[in-house]
Amino acid sequence: MTLHFADLHPPRPTRQTLEAAHAAIHTDLAAGAADRRGTALARWDEERRRYESWSALVHLRFSQDTANAEARAERDYADALAPEATRHEVSVKRHLLDHPDRAALIAEQGAHRVRLWEMDITTFDPAIAPALEEEARLCAEYTELLASARLDVEGTRVNLSGLAPFQETRDRDVRHRAEQARWAFFAANAERLDGLYDRLVTLRHDMAATLGFASYTPLGYRRMRRVDYGPEQVAAFRAQVLEHVVPLVHRLLRQRTAEQGWDRLYAWDESLIDPAGNPRPAGAHDLLIERATMMFDRMGPALGAFFRTMNDGGFLDLRNRDGKAGGGFCTSFPTEGVPFIFANFNGTHHDIAVFTHEMGHAFQNWQSRDLPGIDLLWPTMDAAEINSMGLEFLTWPHMELMVEEGAADRYRRMHLIASLAFLPYGVCVDHFQHEIYADPAMSAEGRHALWRRLERLYMPWRDYGDLDYPAKGGRWQAQLHIYRLPFYYIDYTLALCCAMQFWLAARRDADDAMRRYTALCGQGGSASFTDLVASAGLVSPFSPGALHDVVREAETVLAL
Ligand code: ZN
């Protein structure tokens, strides 16, 4: 029996239904009897799954059709209800943590889940509910502002994601004009972008103060559910990237500049990684689905069968169309177990990433669907991005299927270079946010100057030429995570450090690497980031020298 996406109709919660369901859970928990505790726990899990499935579907439906007034109204309704759902969730966690016998609670729930809950209850108080609602509203405003961009380039009108093919074309003047068009949009909206960010930073700082934190940073780490590391370890990782990766990327860029015969390397030259042109996908949507099916079948029965389940059930929406929100993501419906992949194909190599990156997230969610309790279905994002980026590297041997004729080797080289070049940018975004939340009263000019200073540190090659807006420090405003998902960004770099270890392992023994990867996916969120990393036999990014082996292998492969 195939499950179809169109058949998903999770019930729509209201303040009243949430209130009634949670009152019953509290009553059963308070009764003390073992059978009623069991009933309460099962009912709570069911309640959370239903709510999450509904919320995921509402947000997905809006992303699929942002011009649909009904979908927008439903998203606004969900955003307004979210703090209420959090309030109930936290109240049950508090109730459970009040258990008189801690050892018995850990035996029942597992130590990891108890640690997560202990962290979660410190991130919410009913007093911040209005601020949370306002935060969601400001984030939506940022998304809609960026989605409203209409840029004229080479005689066509595109949105920001539609710029990608022009940003990496071989024609240097077109790349330059594409960047001019992009930054003209940001310059024209500078005041709104500065104002929105200022309100978000102030709001977050005030929320932290209400909850008893000295600044937003510790609250931000807790909202990311980081139970096993803090800002000091993250700073040490950034220092490793600065020491080992920045010089390597700088050398690669100098080499490219010389090869191309350029006088200097401008910002708009950085995305043309392959001198012959970044390799394109083998074809359009239908062909790529067919090829991806073959690729996943070759990688093992579990992956292949799962991809068919998604495709047959309509759990893929990959075509670009008018009114669709930008970007790509994987979301899930914990009542059903089958995740959903959303993307916007644009004919560049980014289309291949959808099958390799988002499928990694989806496969993990599927492999761990039977773990007990909703808290364990997804790992924290640092670990989740190992599942996604890990698959990007594990699909390397099958790239002949996905890439245009004869370009698989060039694709692999481009992917490796892009991954290395991402690390300095990723840690720069993270460093910026630590400084921002340490000084929430910083002026807009101060924030731009700060970004430029950090950009010079982590990307000393960056030359914006005549692009005034980023030259003065405005580049960060194009990074949605800085607005919408504070402190998330470092997770991509931590995960990449681990995913590249899968790359290294697969070069030695592909079957063993795939086995370890599949086992890691099956663990879902049953342990913390560093525990999951250790269980997969990987070196923690926080260990000194974590990047050493992959950087050395990359130097060899790239013949530096
Ligand atoms: Zn991801």
Give the Å distance between the CA of 354 and the centre of ligand 1: 10
Give the Å distance between the CA of 361 and the centre of ligand 1: 7
pLDDT at 559: 85
What's the whole-number mean pLDDT along residues 362-381? 96
Pairing type for strands 151-153 and 156-158 reads antiparallel
Q: Which tens digits make up the pLDDT trace of 214-256?
A: 999 999 999 999 999 999 999 999 999 999 999 999 999 999 9
Give the Å distance between the CA of 17 and the centre of ligand 1: 33
Alpha helices in 98-244 (DSSP H): 102-109, 111-120, 129-147, 164-167, 172-188, 190-210, 216-223, 231-240
Give the Å distance between the CA of 191 and the centre of ligand 1: 31
pTM of full prediction above 0.75: yes
Q: Where are the domains of the chain?
A: 5-134, 159-275+423-484, 285-417+491-557
Dist CA 229 CA 226 (whole Å): 6
**Confidence tier at 148 by pLDDT (50, 70, 90):** confident
The neighbourhood of ligand 1, an ion, using CB within 5 A, equals 388
Q: Which tens digits make up the pLDDT trace of 516-550?
A: 999 999 999 999 999 999 999 999 999 999 999 99
Q: What angle do CA 123, 479, 493 make, to 5 degrees?
A: 75
Q: Tell me the CATH class for 285-417+491-557.
A: mainly alpha
Q: Which tens digits make up the pLDDT trace of 324-337?
A: 887 889 999 999 99
Give the Å distance between the CA of 245 and the centre of ligand 1: 22
pLDDT of 383 over the 90 cut:
yes
pLDDT at 1: 64
Dist CA 182 CA 449 (whole Å): 20
Give the Å distance between the CA of 44 and the centre of ligand 1: 28
Asked if CATH classification 1.10.357 holds for the domain at 5-134, the reply, yes or no, is: no
**Confidence tier at 266 by pLDDT (50, 70, 90):** very high
pLDDT of 57 over the 70 cut:
yes
